[in-house]
Amino acid sequence: MAVDLNNASPLAWDSATLDADTKAMLDNLQPNILRAHVREHLSVLFVRFNDVAEGKAFLRRLATTRMKSARKHLEEVRDFAAGRRRGTPYVGVGISKAGYRDLGHSVEDVRKFGDKVFRDGMKRRVAEVADPPVDQWEPTYQREIHAVILIGDAEQETVTELRDEIAGDLPESARLLGEETGQGMRNPAGDGIEHFGYVDGRSQPLFLRDEVDKEPKEHWDPAFPLSNVLVPDPFSPDPDRHHGSYLVFRKLEQNVRAFKEIEQELADGLGLTGADRDRAGAMLVGRFKDGTPLTSKRKAGGGPVGNDFTFDADPGSKCPFSGHIRKTNPRSFGREVLMARRGQTYGERADQPWDDSPPEHRPSGEVGLLFMAFNSSLVRQFEFTQQSWVNNADFENPATGHDPVIGQGERDIKVTFPKVWGKPEMSLPQTQVGQTVTMKGGEYFFAPSLAYLRNL
């Protein structure tokens, strides 16, 4: 029997009564899909194989000697929480359409991947998502990438060692096309943040009973069926029990200086003073820097970062319709669009994102987000979000504007912002804020089942 991916109840993965198919699924699934893996330090390798037999042998060795299953990961998390030993590092693999072809799969075979966008590859989707032309991407991403290898751990040393071992094991015929280094950032409260200084990674679709149980759910149900992220792995020995997930990877550079200038200009333009000035940036993101949702509170602060809210009672007078988190998750509909985000920040900077340095002391490039997300359909999830919501100035309500954080394409309309939190009075129409996030390249991958990799 196949695993029921549409089952609405979260997975009780360590229940004694778990059925054999679901157990097999967890034993053959890569970690970091159903639950985020620690990847405070992250190494990302982009590889091209060039030889079928050697490429296969490399991946088989990687899977059998270095990769653990989703179930092993979940057991490690449970043991760590119980005060027992620390977990082992994360090694994940994604293969591109070109990679599957290079590993010997025929064109017909590759059509077994239901996702057309995966079969096209990111370079052919520039027009749909308004990405910069491929010749403006960083050189690594302009090349034909066959696979991505993700290596993550809490310790830098562990990642460096493992990265060297894995890169050293690449066959002569393969090429390491390029690599990225991710490095988590935390604010003084210990919450993970991105380079603009805002708490990130708080809202996620949750698939596991133990994670769902920890969340309040009066307004927002954080539980999602596995079908949001898993699909049968078409090339595995048993696709009913062996699953994979489509992985979108995008290097997104952040111009922090420009974003900080925009925050100040917006606050000035709206006449915001004192602590109320923080509302300017919060209107762009939808949360204050400390993660407080703008639709719930007029000010930052007040305990742990909440996620139990909707926008139902907010006609745009608290959180604008364009706010990043409202664009990417309107909450009252579109649950099937939500991806499991697993990105990591990259780049070094001299300032601290939360200090009070003036904008001119902030980085204007070379830092950003290695955006990564697992999908069951790239076309219905990542691309739909970017194209129909984020880049769409009329989404939900006409002329409300692009997503100010990640919107791409011409921002040619005027928009308004609420002058006072929760009151109908709006600002005069003004030009949309400038684009401060630039896509530097990326690719679509499929994270196959371990069963596929071990049998190569």
Q: Count the residues of the shown chain that bind ligand HEM, applying the rule CB under 6 A.
A: 27
Query: Which listed residue (25, 267, 369, 379) binds ligand HEM by CB under 6 A?
Result: 369
Q: Which of the stretches 134-142, 231-239, 349-357, 368-376 binds ligand HEM when contact is defined by CB under 6 A?
A: 368-376
Residue 273 to residue 402: CA distance in whole angstroms:
26
CB nearer to ligand HEM: give 325 or 447. 325
DSSP designation for 206: B
Chain positions 92 to 131 lying near ligand HEM, rule: CB under 6 A, are: none
CB nearer to ligand HEM: give 25 or 325. 325
- Answer whether 142's CB lies under 8 Å from 443's CB: no
DSSP β-bridge partners for residue 244: 231
Q: Which of the stretches 19-27, 41-49, 173-181, 379-387 binds ligand HEM when contact is defined by CB under 6 A?
A: 379-387
Instruction: Note whether 376 binds ligand HEM by CB under 6 A.
Output: no
CB nearer to ligand HEM: give 242 or 250. 250
- Helix H or strand E segment including 249: strand 243-254
Query: Which listed residue (101, 143, 175, 202) binds ligand HEM by CB under 6 A?
Result: 202
Query: Which listed residue (90, 141, 196, 444) binds ligand HEM by CB under 6 A?
Result: 196
Residue 127 to residue 129: CA distance in whole angstroms:
6
Q: Site mask, ligand HEM, residues 300-339, x = CB under 6 A?
A: ------------------------xx--xx----------
Tokens 């698939």 belong to residue: 207
Chain positions 231 to 290 lying near ligand HEM, rule: CB under 6 A, are: 252, 254, 285, 287
Instruction: Note whether 372 binds ligand HEM by CB under 6 A.
Output: no
Nearest approach, Cβ of residue 122 and ligand HEM (Å):
13
- Answer whether 320's CB lies under 8 Å from 283's CB: yes
Q: Which of the stretches 81-89, 114-122, 348-356, 365-373 binds ligand HEM when contact is defined by CB under 6 A?
A: 365-373
Residue 267 to residue 256: CA distance in whole angstroms:
17
Instruction: Note whether 405 binds ligand HEM by CB under 6 A.
Output: yes
Query: Which listed residue (118, 137, 246, 371) binds ligand HEM by CB under 6 A?
Result: 371
The number of residues in the chain equals: 456
- Answer whether 246's CB lies under 8 Å from 445's CB: yes
Catalytic residues: 213
- Token pair in block for residue 352: 């601290």
CA 408 to centroid of chain Cα atoms = 17
- Token pair in block for residue 452: 């596929």
CB nearer to ligand HEM: give 202 or 454. 202
H-type alpha helices, 251-309:
256-269, 278-285
DSSP designation for 20: H
Residue 336 to residue 394: CA distance in whole angstroms:
21
Residue 20 to residue 23: CA distance in whole angstroms:
5
Nearest approach, Cβ of residue 196 and ligand HEM (Å):
5
Q: Which of the stretches 8-16, 27-35, 57-65, 195-203 binds ligand HEM when contact is defined by CB under 6 A?
A: 195-203
Nearest approach, Cβ of residue 301 and ligand HEM (Å):
16
Nearest approach, Cβ of residue 183 and ligand HEM (Å):
15
Could you tell me which residues come within 8 angstroms of residue 34 by beta carbon, excluding any fewer than 6 positions away?
Answer: 11, 70, 74, 207, 208, 226, 229, 230, 340
Nearest approach, Cβ of residue 227 and ligand HEM (Å):
17
- Token pair in block for residue 149: 């290898």
CB-CB neighbours of 222 under 10 Å:
18
* Inter-axis angle of helices 278-285 and 256-269, nearest 10: 120
CB nearer to ligand HEM: give 68 or 318. 318
CB nearer to ligand HEM: give 200 or 278. 200
- The binding site for ligand HEM (CB under 6 A) comprises 194, 196, 198-203, 252, 254, 285, 287, 324-325, 328-329, 341, 368-369, 371, 382, 385-386, 390, 405-406, 437
